[in-house]
Amino acid sequence: MSAAAETPRFPEGVVRRQCAAILAGWGLAGENLEASVDALTDCDLRGIDTHGISLLALISNWMKNGGYDLAVEPKIEAEGPAHATVDAGNGLGFPAAAFATRLAVRKAKQAGIAVTTVRRSHHFGAAGYYARLAAREGVICLVATSTKVVCVVPPGGAEPVLGTNPLAYGIPTAGGEPIVFDMATSTAAGNKIRIHHLQDKPLPEGWVVDGEGRPVTDPHAAYRIIYGGAPGGLTALGATPALGVHKGYGLALLGHFLGGSLAGGAFNGAARQTAGSEDNIGHCFIAIDPALLRGFEAFTADVGTVAGRLRGAAPVDPGRPVLMPGDIENQVRAARLKEGVPLAPALLAQLSAIAKGLGVPFHLTPEAALSDRPASQ
């Protein structure tokens, strides 16, 4: 039996309830709880499994070192007609980021363009989630964030100095889902190294280099580099000079300059964190209202023309048409709403232990699973 067939699938509502139970057990309530549950569940539905409910297992481990205040509310520190700075207060990143995104949208609809930043935050999940939130409200949105983990070596460097510093954008359309692009500025996300390590699966050459700049394809050696402190790290997007690593390096810096420096977030490449210290991750949200510049209808008509031309471009493989950013995630979401969200047994065991430790219900039981394989099979 294949691993896919052994993986139970759960309805969206069950995944959502489990997220809510654990987060409430940690002290979240009200809008903070709702925003966090939605951010996590949306990622699971769209196939972004590393940033869905599995993040709760990582957050649980991070919380053991202290530095979290999960009952805090995001607070506006300063604002004007087209800007605002938000203090997350050491709370989870999800509610603070959602709050700042909606604030940027409201201000952009008045001023045409607005910028909001967040400091003293934590991991906010997938950057594209917030870009999509804004784009659904009819505004263009650029999202940048700094990161907790330092794991990316600069071109020519022998040690990691940068994080994966994701960037995302959302583009509104005349109808249907927005166009959403979300990327790490490293060649591969750190969580992919963890997955390959667990699966004993060799890495593609170029994802990870050792302390002398040599490619590392052994997944366990790579895991020791990224998570165990061995010399080396992830490469910036492009991996090599011939493939444009300087471009990924530049984008990684942009991610930090906007999400970290502008927001007041920490640069963890300059000093190591100690137990109990704040992560102080920063985020940045730039919202642009096309209605106050060119006009919403004219803008989205052009967006539709571009998207239609690209999707209609002659494909190399007739069975694999050209896609726009976000198309795959939308397709996965439609399938998972019908067939359920697959959750690996190892993850279920971790979540069960967390729920038991908190004294909250564990909903992801075998009885709650839809089946042991997709319903279409």
Pick from 4-8, 102-106, 289-293 the range whose average pLDDT is largest: 102-106
Band (272; pLDDT cuts 50, 70, 90): low
Band (345; pLDDT cuts 50, 70, 90): very high
Domains and CATH numbers, the chain: 1-65+325-376 (1.10.1530.10), 74-187+236-312 (3.30.1370.60)
Task: List all residues 6 or more positions away from 157 whose beta carbon is below 8 Å from its beta carbon.
Answer: none
Between 374 and 219, the higher pLDDT residue: 219
Q: How far apart are CA 36 and CA 98, in angstroms?
A: 9
Task: Average the pLDDT over each of 101-115, 263-277, 310-324 and give the range with the smallest value.
Answer: 263-277
Task: Quote the pLDDT of residue 375.
Answer: 45
Task: List all residues 6 or more positions away from 226 whose beta carbon is below 8 Å from its beta carbon.
Answer: 151, 190, 193, 194, 208, 233, 234
10 Å Cβ neighbour count for 63?
A: 14
C-alpha distances in Å from residue 146, one per residue of 37, 103, 109, 251, 305: 22, 20, 26, 12, 34
Q: How far apart are CA 58 and CA 56, in angstroms?
A: 5
- Please tell me whether the overall predicted TM-score, pTM, comes out greater than 0.85 for this model: yes
